[in-house]
Chains A and B, each alone.
Chain A
Amino acid sequence: MYALGEALKVLPWGTRGSIATPGPARQRYGGNTSCVEILGDEGTLLVLDAGTGVRPLGESLPKNLKRVDILLTHLHMDHIQGLGFFSALYDPEMAVHIWGPTCPTQSLSQRLTRYLSPPLFPVRLPDLPCQLTLHELPGDVTEIGEFRVSASLISHPGSTLGYRIESASSVVAYLPDHEPALGQGRVPDEPEWTSGFDLAEGADLLLHDCQYTESEYIDRVGWGHSTFGQSLDFAKLCGVQHLMAFHHDPSREDDALEGHVRDAVERFEPSFRVSIGAEGTAETLRS
């Protein structure tokens, strides 16, 4: 699908939050839940979250691929539901590394097995044919192929990670479920007191939670998500180049989504680029 030598490519395969929402009213931005492919120019492939979008991603994997790394932000269903349908997990020649948040009472394997085992799923995680390795985060900065990957816990119910992925030339930050305004009703203006700041600081591209409108947020404080406006404030504080709105509310149809983002952009007049995450629309970052 891609030729080596291209710059870092970011391709959303699922941008929806909470639950998959297929249908004609959501065709432009898609109905699959969180999943983003990151492909480096040396061929390293990262998969950010394994929502329902990871199934079609599996069908597009390069034939010669021998390793894939899945970086899970957290284990809510909309971020792992596609895992059992990801073709790489059934390839005995494939090394699959799953990275996810640590927990004080159960290992990552135990927690994933709660979903990947009967009666919820016919195949048990330990029985998958691929060469599977699990890693728990946060920890030290990790080198995966040509990428440096940092993970930190961020403001979202339960143990939830955000990721910062650095290549030689670009930085991508991925915080699809994030409520930095929790407790204040607005994003703090102090970087050191802002959840996720270190991950997103100076990023070329920030994929960030924009699930709610301002009126919706009033009744959903503490649910772990942001408004468009809060995401714009967060992106401004972090000095990013490009904010991609992500984790669209399942109730939001395409026209409404565009309207909400357009209104927020008109009000905030950001100095950086703003786009709406859309399934199948790649963003290429060049040095």
Chain B
Amino acid sequence: MGQHDIEVILMRQLAGHLVVPVLVVNLGMDIVYYNEAAEEILGLRFAETGKLSTAEAREHFLVLDADGSAIPPKAGPIYSAMRDKHAHTRDIVLQRVSDGRQQAMQAVAFPLLAQGDRELGTVCMLWVKP
């Protein structure tokens, strides 16, 4: 099992101490870590699921537009931040598959660009709307 880059490890450490829901996503669009605040929103526990591929994530939650239509992964802020190498934000509705619960939030994604021109993935923070 390969070790994550130090920037990803430190990002997880930081996210683990924040109260804002945070997803850490690798270049393959796998969610390699989500913190406790995100666990509540997603209805999942990282200790139980570990890394989630895009397909696995879709079994647990859907990312929708404000009008209820699905946002394709490549149109979402996580992929856009990775592609454009700068931050993206978008209002989304996150719907849990298990109970259909919907939560409106603002997703803010920024790319993890490391020294030595290394692109490591994206971090997405979720700001729950009142």
Contact = CB atoms under 8 A, between A and B. Distances in A.
Contacts of A191: 1, 3
A230 B116 CA distance: 29
Contact of A103 (B10, B13, B115): B115
Contact of A194 (B3, B5, B7, B16): B3
Contacts of B116: 102, 136-139
Interface string B1-34: 1111111011011101100000000000000000
A5 interface: no
B115 A195 contact: no
Interface residues of B, number: 17
Contact of B10 (A138, A139, A155): A155
Contacts of A152: 5-6
A228 to B, nearest CB: 22
A246 interface: no
Contacts of A183: 10, 13-14, 16-17
B6 A195 contact: yes
Contacts, number: 49
Interface string B96-126: 0000000000000000001110000000000
Contacts of A193: 3-4, 9, 12
Interface in B54-90: none
Interface string A169-184: 0000000000000111
Contact of B2 (A102, A154, A192): A192
Contacts of A182: 10, 13
Contacts of A194: 3, 9
Given A102-B115, A102-B116, A153 B4 contact: no
A106 B4 CA distance: 26
Nearest to B14: A183
B2 A198 contact: yes
A197 B13 CA distance: 16
A101 B118 CA distance: 14
Nearest to A136: B116
A153 B3 contact: no
A155 B2 CA distance: 17
A155 B11 CA distance: 12
A192 B3 contact: yes
B2 A195 contact: no
A23 interface: no
Contacts of A102: 115-116
Contacts of B14: 183
B115 A184 contact: no
A153 B6 contact: yes
A184 B10 CA distance: 11
Contacts of B12: 193
A94 to B, nearest CB: 28
A122 interface: no
A192 B1 contact: yes
Contact of B3 (A136, A137, A197): A197
A153 B115 contact: yes
29 contacts: A102-B115, A103-B115, A104-B115, A137-B116, A138-B116, A139-B116, A152-B5, A152-B6, A153-B5, A153-B115, A155-B6, A155-B9, A155-B10, A159-B115, A182-B10, A183-B10, A184-B13, A192-B1, A192-B2, A192-B3, A192-B4, A193-B3, A193-B9, A194-B3, A194-B9, A195-B9, A196-B3, A197-B3, A198-B3
